[in-house]
Amino acid sequence: MSWFKRKKEPEENKISAQSLTCPGCPRPCPERGPRGKMGPMGPQGPTGPTGATGATGPAGGPTGPTGPTGATGPTGATGPTGPTGATGSDGEDGVTGATGTAATLQVGSVTTGEPEEEAQVTNRGDESNAIFDFVIPRGQTGTDGVPGNDGATGPTGPTGPTGATGPTGSTGATGPKGATGTCSCKAPDLLSAYSTPPQSGKSGTVLIFDRNAVINGSSIFHAQNSGTFTIQQTGFYQVSFHGTLAPASGSAFPLTVSLYLQQQGTQVPGTAVQHTFHTSTDSANVAFSQIIQVTTVPTTIQVIGQGTGYFYGPISMSINKLGS
């Protein structure tokens, strides 16, 4: 379809005509005025009539390829069964087979099963040589029979072992309080002494105790600043000693210093203690405790030191009377 467009008249021609022939003007204007601003766009006009239908175009392209074959449809229903055919004639007899070997049969194992099990027979041989194993359930336990008559009384058996001791009975009531007895006890006899400042010693030195700490009773005596303790009553006494030893200046090393308790000039067995020093700054704590028996009074006891040169202190000794 062809469309024809009307040629639009130039705007400046319209303006020129309007300028030269202004409505209401007494005469044409000799000069063209300045161009005014473009006015607003007018409303859209009505739609024009539909044009004539164009000629039909040529036919379409070639036919496309054949599509894939569709899926096979479901199988149809089974037709009715045909009539039974006529019975055929009997066939010829077959050839007689060879005589087979005689089969053997023997019993294998026989096992007693539980009452609830089923009986079982198993052939562990083959068709020609059968060996049958049997599992036969035992019967249920029968009911108890009628008790028989009591037999004669047998001889008395040996006495059995003694049974365990029964539980202790409850405590009985408290008896009445006895009469108050007289007391003949007394405080124990004892004495303790000590020495604080270090003192020098050598072989055969009697260690000096310059203070008494506790004294009770009259069995034991010690004078302060003395090394002798006097036992004034017979009996048994416990003697305990503790002290610190150190080498004297200028001593040759190694230096061995020993101490022991002496009673009436005789060393008391089990009281010897000693220490070997290797440097001048070395020190050692020594101690002993022993029980002695005093049979004659007065008896003296002392602590004796042995060594070429040493210091002792602080030291302490306690003597307790244990009994007569």
Tell me if the pTM is above 0.75.
no
Bigger pLDDT: 169 vs 3: 169
Per the DSSP assignment, residues forming a β-bridge with 274 are 258
pLDDT tens digits for range 119-128: 888 888 887 7
Bigger pLDDT: 57 vs 168: 168
100 — phi, psi (to 5°)? Answer: -80, 165
What is the spatial distance between Cα 308 and Cα 248, in angstroms, rounded to a whole number? Answer: 9
pLDDT tens digits for range 87-126: 767 768 768 767 767 778 788 888 888 887 888 888 888 8
How much of the chain, in percent, has pLDDT values that exceed 70?
A: 78
Strand, helix or coil for residue 18: helix
What is the spatial distance between Cα 299 and Cα 289, in angstroms, rounded to a whole number? Answer: 18
- Give the pLDDT band (50/70/90) at residue 19: very low
β strands within the chain, DSSP E: 104-113, 120-123, 129-137, 190-195, 199-201, 205-206, 211-216, 220-222, 229-231, 235-247, 255-263, 266-267, 273-277, 284-294, 299-306, 310-323
What are the structure tokens assigned to 29, written together? 């204007």
Helices (H) and strands (E) in the chain, counts: 1, 16
Give the pLDDT score at 185: 62
Burial annotation 238-277 (CB, 10 A radius, 16+ → b, else e): ebebebebbbbeebeeebebbbbbebeeeebeebebebeb
pLDDT surpasses 70 at 15 = no
Strand, helix or coil for residue 302: strand
pLDDT surpasses 60 at 74 = yes
pLDDT surpasses 80 at 69 = no
